[in-house]
Amino acid sequence: MPAFLLQAVLISLSGVMAPGPLSASVVSRGQRSPHAGALAALGHAVIEFPLMAVVLFGFTAWADIPLVRALIGLAGGMVLLWMGWGLLVRVRRPSVTSREPPVAGSDVGAGIMLTGANPYFLVWWASVGATLLLQASQYGPAGIALFALLHWLCDLLWLWLLSTIVHGGGHYFGSRFQLAVLAVSGLFLLLVGIDFVREGVALLRGLN
């Protein structure tokens, strides 16, 4: 089991550390608090742990249904476009200072929303995640519980590290650094949102 858990952690980190909507949001929120990433990871867990149970019991086929993936992609894309545009609007405001919260809303809520609206997250759990869970089940409930905990700890540590680094950098470099972070995060969210919408539309067209 130790060898399996080590393998699972390395695979989990490869997915966790890949740039995505949640990490981009945490980067922008890290200006407000070094703990934004930890709170976002809690929101992420609200979606991820129940999804693990769903995957474990074999109900993953729905994630491969084109209509379901299309609707999730469209919804997620619209959310990301809205968030990205909001960040860019803040960049244009000369009143943005280190005392202003860079983004509105709950960090936990952002973790929930960006996790649930990310079709790639669902596809990962319907494929790679499902395989790891099946392997973990060979070691009984303890193996499943340890895998689930270690996988989430990878999310927690990475997101917390991101927000901590950004928060420290913002205090050191000042408002220009904050504006640059907002601009890069906003553009990234817009690009990912466009990609989500494009894929959703392509799936819907394929149904005709």
Residue 32 lies in a domain: yes
The rounded percent of the chain whose pLDDT value lies above 70 is 82
Question: Using one digit for the tens of pLDDT, what is the confidence trace for 45-63?
Answer: 999 999 998 888 775 566 5
186 domain-assigned: yes
Is residue 130 in some structural domain?
A: yes
pTM summary value: 0.69
**14 lies in a domain?**
no
Residue 36 falls within a domain, yes or no? yes
Mean pLDDT throughout 31-41?
90
pLDDT of residue 108: 93
- Residues 6 or more apart from 134 whose CB is under 8 A from it? none
Q: Please give the tally of structural domains in the chain.
A: 1
pLDDT exceeds 50 at position 98: no
Determine, yes or no, domain membership for 13: no
- Amino acid 60: pLDDT: 53
| Measured distance CA(142)–CA(136) in Å, rounded | 9
The b-or-e profile of 4-24 (16+ CB within 10 A means b, else e) is: bbeebbebbeebbeeebbbbb
Supply the range of the domain harboring residue 75: 2-7+23-207
Give the model's pLDDT for residue 173. Answer: 55
Assign 20 to helix, strand or coil: coil
What's the confidence (pLDDT) of residue 102? 47
Determine the pLDDT at residue 172: 58
| 133 touches 56 (CB < 8 A) | yes
Asked if 178 contacts 30 with a C-beta cutoff of 8 angstroms, the reply is no
Residue 168: pLDDT above 90? no
Q: How confident is the model at residue 99 (pLDDT cuts 50, 70, 90)?
A: very low
Tens digit of pLDDT for each residue in 187-201? 877 887 788 788 889
- Per-residue pLDDT at 45: 95
